[in-house]
Amino acid sequence: SLQALRKISLEHPTACLRAGALMAVLSYLDFFSTGVQRVALSTAANICRKLPSDASEFVMEAVPLLTNLLHHHDSKVLEHASVCLTRIAEAFAHHPEKLDELCNHGLVAQAANLVSISNSPGQTSLSTSTYT
């Protein structure tokens, strides 16, 4: 169950990552209700905490999916996707080649767009705590 995986991901994010849970929770998002999507993205954000040095082999496949979620209509899904991508970028901060790979997925353009709409009324945007 997704709820069980969310709870496990709080205590054992690296084990979940290595077991393929990140892609498992992101793969079928479009087929679920917004509430289930929120739980899935919360789980993904937990999994992206304290990423190990070999994380790129586990997270790069998820980057395009997470980047696309920066357009999501639901603020919680948007927030969790942003947190995932932030944690991935932070984990790769000292690895320029991995940062380049992140950028190849359109992350910079999507993030810039998200920042530019944060002051636009009627647009889904990041909360101040996530934004800063």
Higher pLDDT, 118 or 10: 10
* 98 HSE (CA, 13 A, CB side): 19
The reported pLDDT for the residue numbered 112 is 77
Predicted structure pTM score:
0.85
Q: Tell me the average pLDDT across 94-123.
A: 77
What CATH architecture applies to the domain 2-131? Answer: Alpha Horseshoe (1.25)
| Residue 104 predicted with pLDDT over 60 | yes
| Residue 84 predicted with pLDDT over 80 | yes
In order of 69, 77, 98, the CA distances from 60 in angstroms are 15, 19, 9
Higher pLDDT, 120 or 58: 58
Higher pLDDT, 126 or 20: 20
Task: Please tell me whether residue 98 adopts helix, strand or coil conformation.
Answer: helix
Cβ–Cβ contacts within 10 Å for residue 98, how many? 18
pLDDT category at 122 given cuts 50, 70, 90 is low
Q: How far apart are CA 39 and CA 13, in angstroms?
A: 15
